[in-house]
Chains A and B, each alone.
Chain A
């Protein structure tokens, strides 16, 4: 019993260590940095330009595009699997999606660079370079889709059969039963799946690092066809070879400041999504 309890406490120690290691250096960054550098028109840490608007909008643009891909595809796939697919089809497709959800993000990043950017973005916009935020967004979307699909599918299947039968009994079609009965009954799970997707998309690093084009720093841009940088990409780009990181004055502590921001954003998204998931569980 004591051993088991000690093991469970390890996770608390880990959380405490994360918070400590983030806060210490983040505070030293904020106290030492010239605050006007935080509003610079770009993110070039080695030139002491820590333009927060650049990486915040970068994260919003990439995560936004990712969700434009992942929300409709993931929810559509989830509704099909939960409501329409025959049991035998479902039995094959579900594990296949689950297996493919294990594709590492570095692989999707290389795919975004070698296929999504030239084949999709290149066709959409003639003057987009090979490295752009839109390709990163689609890549992250591909990565997040299975997650959205699996959380949403669980919540559709949690809707009791009796609700569907009542609807059919009133003469409703399968489509209206799905859209007017099952979907509203599962709405908290749907919301949870979307928020979880956003949280994962904001925290995703490798795809952005490989294809968004912000490795050497990035100018502020709202155009997704331009190169850009996200919070995660900014951290990883700084850290390629840790000696490089420690070489620059405030570049190293800036990592922890951005990390703390990212930690707080994803934590609040996860807390909100958890609350919605719990509502699904309690209802029936």
Chain B
């Protein structure tokens, strides 16, 4: 007989720490270790005679002394602090070596102090991004930033028409970002034909090509058939077979089998088993946005002629995903929340740090990102914010590495959006300041 006590735990380990009050401290942990290091370094540099900075070895000695003062018990934290401090000092050293011949030491010292001040300010905002009990929600950066980004990339609305309209309004400036949000880089983990009919996966490269094919066929060679819900009206239809015609080697077999599901996410439906035609509700949206033109035929029938744009179908997919955000696939949830977290993080950095700040590299480093972003991702998923299923966010470090690797491969439009977020932050703070 075993005397070993049976575990009473019914949930997976780690799953219990999913409440707001559990997650927020975890998000703050590493930030609260980064800020003192930068503040202390700034104090040291301020008190140091500028000429002493010429000698790089002095900085090494100071760093070694600082490391001795480390009293943290948790190994991961002390390791991170040591790594962070050594990175900060290395960057300062490189900066001095690079410019000591061209710039006066006193100016170099001022630059370093200014860069450190900016970095502390940024961390200050990141650590006060929200509060433990979510009071005065609308005055917190997290809430306002999530809502600002959500309105442009993933808006809410009572019906598809409203969501689509909102997306279309912002697509002039941020279509690339909207499309990016639908294309998780971990698409190879998705099941295109998931047994759960309601689950919405992201757009894989093959599905993206298929959407392009559908779009081209509608604009170039549409057939016209009876509008099932409206008499004397004809709607555009294309042959499903034509969409898959160019594929060889069974490349798009999975997509061909799942065409019904893909069609639904694009606002289309299968008619007579062979045609792809827009759904009734989508036809209304298309007419409203000039994507369908009415043409009276000689036989008195009204023919709806398609005049689609690149964004016509993609934005429907995004609106569909936004409306049914409770049914998003695991990859989509991870991807969307990661992008939101990344945009908020980078927006705050852009706002607080000058472009030439030498510590930008540390903030953008994968090691720093993976300490801050995963918790920010989970906070963003709470009902007051994006309202996604945060239980689907993966905790595996390998997976984090896999998705965070792509953070570096930014698209230009994403950079424009980060600038826009930085401007929004500035305005929001000014408003707060005026009110107080």
Are A and B genuine complex partners? Answer: no
List residues of chain B with CB under 8 Å of any chain A CB: none
